[in-house]
């Protein structure tokens, strides 16, 4: 068993994964690049979803290849990190939020491993693994991190940022943060039978809630939280593995045949 770590904007490497080995993985859905490391005897597979040079746009990420590559590498749990905008004043820039629901506004992405002849309907009542999310939340708080829970992630197509009118609509729908990469990543992990949790780092208030968003501003808050993310990862590696008692692996009906 291995822990998968997927990171977003600004998180392209971690000190505790220094010395990781670059590995190109061939999958039925294309090539994927992961970085393998062994930390305290645990196998870790790190995957920066935009590439280490941030060269892949959100709508062009090969999500199926990424999740398939992690599955082929023996990953059974994924801790994902994403950089988001806040839809509420209660979550200012710099906040950390453990996600538990998403609303999908993307289009044209390959959202499923299911295909003709392999019909499957995946239950997404809990789109993020409740057991792994709770474990990460507890370990983060034990380490002194202030993490909010119950985040509703609104996923937009990108690469443009949203309009103020869209942000108002998303908030009315119950969204709390907005990003561009959380879907179909979470859905595909569920289809692959991998426990998946996601921690959102808030880098800015969304459009209409502050002045125009700048890349420099985003980087400031991502860099400020990098040490906290490393701390949470260290806690998960030391205390969080080998405790699978949830139904994520059994939730996919027929598509699990893909992995035999």
Q: What is the pLDDT of residues 175-229, one digit of tens each?
A: 999 999 999 999 999 999 999 999 999 988 999 997 766 666 667 777 777 888 8
Cβ–Cβ under 8 Å, residues 97 and 202: yes
155: its two tokens: 């996923």
Give the helix/strand (H/E) hosting 153: strand 147-155
Name which of 251, 6, 246 is nearest 124 in CA terms. 251
Q: What is the pLDDT of residues 33-85, one digit of tens each?
A: 999 999 988 899 999 998 877 779 999 999 999 999 999 999 999 999 999 99
pLDDT at 126 over 70: yes
Confidence band, pLDDT 50/70/90 cuts, at residue 167: very high
Which SS3 state, helix, strand or coil, does residue 187 take?
Answer: helix
Cβ–Cβ under 8 Å, residues 45 and 2: yes
β-bridge partners, 96: 147, 201
Interacting residues of 219 by C-beta distance below 8 A, sequence separation 6+ = 10
Q: Phi and psi dihedrals of 240, rounded to 5? A: -100, -10
DSSP symbol at 122: -
136: its two tokens: 């990460």
pLDDT at 256 over 50: no
Name which of 245, 203, 253, 248 is nearest 82 in CA terms. 203
- Boundaries of domain holding 149: 2-259
Q: Is the peptide bond before 184 cis (omega within 30 degrees of 0)?
A: yes
Whole-number Å distance between alpha carbons of 110 and 189 = 13
108: its two tokens: 């044209």
218 vs 163: which has the higher pLDDT: 163
The mean pLDDT of 149-166, rounded to a whole number, is 95
Whole-number Å distance between alpha carbons of 178 and 171 = 10
| DSSP code per residue over 193-213 | T-EEEEEEEEEEEPTTSSSPP
Give the helix/strand (H/E) hosting 99: strand 96-104
Q: What is the pLDDT of residues 127-150, one digit of tens each?
A: 999 999 999 999 999 999 999 999
Name which of 187, 5, 7 is nearest 83 in CA terms. 7
Instruction: Give the C-alpha distances (Å, rounded to integers) separating 182 from 35, 82, 127, 257.
Output: 20, 8, 11, 25
- The total domain count for the chain is 1
CATH number of the domain that residue 237 is part of: 3.40.50.1580
pLDDT at 227 (0 to 100): 86
Whole-number Å distance between alpha carbons of 188 and 134 = 20
């Amino acid at each position: 068993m291995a822990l998968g770590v997927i990171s977003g904007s600004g998180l392209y490497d971690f000190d505790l994964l220094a010395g990781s080995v670059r590995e190109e993985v061939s999958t039925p859905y294309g090539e994927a690049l992961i970085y393998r490391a062994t930390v305290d005897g645990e196998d870790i597979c790190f995957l920066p979803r935009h590439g280490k040079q941030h060269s892949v746009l959100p709508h062009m990420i090969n999500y199926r290849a990424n999740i398939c590559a992690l599955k082929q590498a023996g990953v059974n749990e994924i801790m994902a990190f994403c950089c988001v905008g806040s839809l509420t004043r209660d979550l200012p820039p710099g906040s950390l939020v453990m996600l538990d629901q998403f609303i999908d506004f993307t289009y044209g992405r390959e959202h499923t491993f299911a295909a003709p002849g392999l019909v499957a309907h995946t239950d997404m009542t809990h789109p993020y693994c409740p057991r792994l999310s709770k474990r990460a939340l507890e370990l983060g708080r034990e380490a002194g991190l202030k993490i909010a829970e119950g985040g509703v992630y609104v996923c937009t197509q990108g690469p443009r940022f949203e309009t103020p009118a869209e942000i108002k609509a998303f908030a009315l729908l119950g969204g709390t943060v907005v990003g561009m990469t959380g879907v179909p990543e979470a859905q595909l992990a569920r289809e692959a039978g991998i426990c998946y949790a996601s921690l959102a780092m808030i880098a800015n208030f969304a459009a209409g809630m502050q002045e125009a968003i700048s890349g420099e501003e985003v980087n400031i808050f991502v860099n400020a939280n990098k040490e906290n993310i490393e701390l949470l990862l260290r806690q998960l590696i030391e205390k969080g593995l080998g405790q699978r008692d949830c139904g994520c692996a059994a939730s996919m009906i027929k598509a699990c045949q893909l992995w035999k």
